Structure formats: structure tokens, C-alpha cells
Amino acid sequence: MSPRRRRILHALVAAHAIGVTLLAITTPTGAQAPLAQNVASPDPATVSRDLVAERSIPDLQQALAAGRLTSVQLVDAYLSRINRYDQQGPALNAFITLNPAARATAAALDAERTARGARGPLHGIPIVVKDNYATADLPTTAGAKALAGFLAPRDAFVVQRLRDAGAIVLGKTNLHELAAGITTISSQGGQTRNPYDLSRNPGGSSGGTGAAVAASFGAAGIGTDTCGSVRNPASANNLFGLRPTLGLVSRTGIVPLSHSQDIGGPIARTVTDLAIMLDAMVGPDTADPATADAAAHVPRTYLGAIGDREVGDIRIGILTAMFGNAPEDHEVSAIVRESLAALRDLGADVVDVEIPGLADLLQGTSLIDHEFKYDLLDFLAAYPSAPVHSLAEILQDGRYTPGLEAGMKRREAVAARTTPAYTTALDRSEVARQTVIAAMAQRGLTALAYPTLRRRPAPIGQPQGGSNCQLSATTGLPALAMPAGFTTDGVPIGLELLGNAWGEAPLLKMAYVY
């Protein structure tokens, strides 16, 4: 038995042990592995209740189009799983708020389908939304008790785009409070657990979305990524997650952490689902100047741009400096390299590369400390009815996760919007961006490859080490996290591909073929 197959079987056994019925699991090659022979088959009644488990958006859409399912039935099936597994059973704790109008929305979309047909591939499909996206019908807390009950007058741009495409918002998912961490614990939502190992965190900050999608609590979901917050949960939950090119997706209506690094992105079980979500999310927004160039770079559809399964024109550089050398990093490194060998076997040109001085180039390029205080101030100023209006008021309120206090006080102490340190960080970021772009062009690279996290998800209550988040965050280049395999004890590991500016389509193609 190959090491990869052995890891898959370990994961299936672990999933069955916690009571989450996985009818099939997506392997690193994109095929579906049947249940291991030594795992008892699910009861037929459970199978009928779990008609949504591990189902892709095209599968669900096909059933809806054929009249075998209604969107109301889909909502009921997802809510049934949430009821059994989110607060009970394994108690994943992925949600902060469920949408009481989800069933009524589904009924309206069912009626619209009958009368006029489907709007597109997301018509009547239930999804989940990270609770730092503004929603007009549900509170937006960003995981903070200080923002409990805050109701925005309008949806975030991306949420409205998804609703316009026919998606049903099932609920708002938990996140690391204010998106300021990567283990997904918040004063409003508590600690979210990893569906593959309940003793571990699900990544973050979009860990609620990651756990919910992995547990089939929704067909797909959206998160935000300031430094790894979409990619880390994808890695930790055997999912695909995309941080797009900065400017491809609007930030309007997202509770900010750093306007220079924030961007929204989809999280899904399959590349096809990821592309369907991305198609509905992208495009110019007059309220977000960063998206002004997006229209010139968006293909007719990302789903259509995936193309054929030939990868002979793909050249991937393994960024050796971003593989860990500590003993706890070795297993992850081996899994990621094995996955890259699979891409080479499929026809891609895969080579080791170095960018001299990369680690030093990335040092001091994070802009979160410089921007958070003032970005949050500007965001809350647009909502006079918000319960607090500044970081200082959140600190004064006192109801926040204790682990955030030092960081919040450090960011509150920033004396001005523009400081010499901020200017230096911006300058360093631009140097790093241009260096990486030049290195990729010189070597003719379609993508750089490295582990999303250099080590497995940390146990709950312990800090998460090994993040490789900063390269994409600093350069603004797109990065796609994808399943690489499983550790010997069944914990998912992610491989990350960093592409050229506006290079989402090639990244999706690589992941799709893989």
C-alpha cells in the first residue's frame, strides 16, 4: 500500500470515529476513494439523510434541474447535518449565526426555477459566509462580542454578487476574532474544531468556513485572507482555497484588518466548485478602487478557462526555502514533495528553485500593525448604529479573546496613519513583489510551490507555527491552497501554488488536473 493511500485510509477511519459520515473522500488526484473495508458502512437511513454529504455543486445542480431535489430539501438536509454535528456529536462549532430565512429563500428560488429556469450554476445552492462579511439580514460580528448584534444596512459587495447568482446564505461562520489569528477562536463564537481531528484547530482565520465546508454544512463558502486566512483552513481541512490577485475581488463590506493585504476568496471541496464560486465573486466595484483593473483580466468564466488536462506548458518552481527544516516539519515536506512528483508525472515541468534572500525580503513587510487601527475606524464610521466605533472602544469593552490583547494594544498605539515605519514596510513590500515577479519571469515559471503550512494543524490551545502566508500577502500575487495528502494519523496537509498577477486560471487548471 502506498504512503498516500495509507494516509487516506487513516483519515477515513478518523472521520468515521468522530461520527461525521463521509460517504467518500476526495483524494489528492481528485478521484473519490471508497470507504475503507475495515470501516463499517453507514446505515441506509443515514445515507438518505445525508444526501448532501461530499456532493459537488454540479451534482446538486443536476439533481435540482432534473427535479430529483428542491432547494428547500437541500437547505433542510444541510441544516440537519448542522444540527447533528455542529453543536452536538463532534460539536465542530463552525457557526456563529444560522439564517432563519434560508428556507424561505430556497422556496422562492425553487419557484423562480420553475417559472423562468435557473440563473446559473449557483441557483438554489446553499453556501456559508464568514462572519466578517456584512449582511443586511444577519448580524456581522467578526467574532467579537463587542460587535454583537451589529446589523449592516446592506450586504458586502461579494455577498450581494453571490445572492444575485442564486446562492442561499445558510449562515455566518466563526473566525479568529477580528480575523487577527489563525486558530479560529473568538469571544463571540468560541473555538472551532477540525473535523478530521477534534483535538486540533481548523486553521484560520476563516476556520469556521473551512470546518463547515469540510463537514458538508454547505456546498461551498467564502472567507477572507490577509495572511493565510483562506489558505490555512483549506490546508487544514482537505479543501481548495484561493487567495486571488489583489484587486480581483472587492473588499467593500468586509470588516478590515489591513486594506493593503485584505481580500476575499472561495473555499470548496473541488476545483470545479471553487471556480463556480470565483465566477460569481469577481469584478469591478466602484466603491473599491483597487478593483478598477479587474474587468480587463477576468475571463468569460474561470470554470471554462480551466481547459483541457494537458499540463506540458506548465512550469512549477519548488521554492525550497519555504520547506521547514525542524523535525516537526519533515512529514509535511515529504507529503508536499510527493504531491509535486504527481504533478510532474502528469506532464508538468517541476524544478527546485531559489530566490536569493527571499526570507530577508519578506521581513518587515506585514502591514497589519500599521493599518488595522485606522482601517477599522474608517469601516465603523460608515455605520453610526454599530455598538463600537474604534479599536480603542473594543479594548475598553474588554470582551475579547485574551490572546488578542497584546496585538490589539500594539496596534492601538500606532500614532498616525502614515509613519516612517509604515513607509518603510510599503517600500520593502514593493521590492519583494518586483523581485518575485522578476524571478518567476526569468525562469519561465507558471507558479511557485511550497507547503501552505510547514507543519500539521496545532492542538487546540497551542500556537500554530509554520505559516507560509506572507509571500502572497506581501506581493499581492494569487495563491491557491490544495490538498496534498494526510499525515500518518489522518491530518490533512496542503500544497500552495503562487501564480503570476491575474494568473488564477492557470492555478485552477493545475489544481484541476492534479
The catalytic residue positions are 130, 205, 229
Distances (CA, A) of 82 to 20, 35, 89: 11, 22, 10
Kindly give, in sequence order, each residue whose CB lies less than 8 Å from that of residue 115, ignoring residues fewer than 6 positions away: none
Distances (CA, A) of 495 to 28, 110, 214, 240, 472: 10, 38, 17, 10, 14
Kindly give, in sequence order, each residue whose CB lies less than 8 Å from that of residue 299, ignoring residues fewer than 6 positions away: 305, 505
CA–chain centroid gap for 509, Å, is 18
For the chain, what's the residue count?
514
Whether residue 205 has a cis bond before it, omega within 30° of 0 = yes
Which residue, 372, 338, 283, 333, is CA-closest to 466?
A: 333
Whether the CB-CB separation of 161 and 62 falls below 8 Å is answered with no
3-state helix, strand, coil in the chain (%, to 5): 40, 15, 45
Burial (CB < 10 A; 0-12, 13-18, 19+), residue 137, is: middle
Burial (CB < 10 A; 0-12, 13-18, 19+), residue 241, is: buried
Map grid coordinates 463537514 to a residue: 215
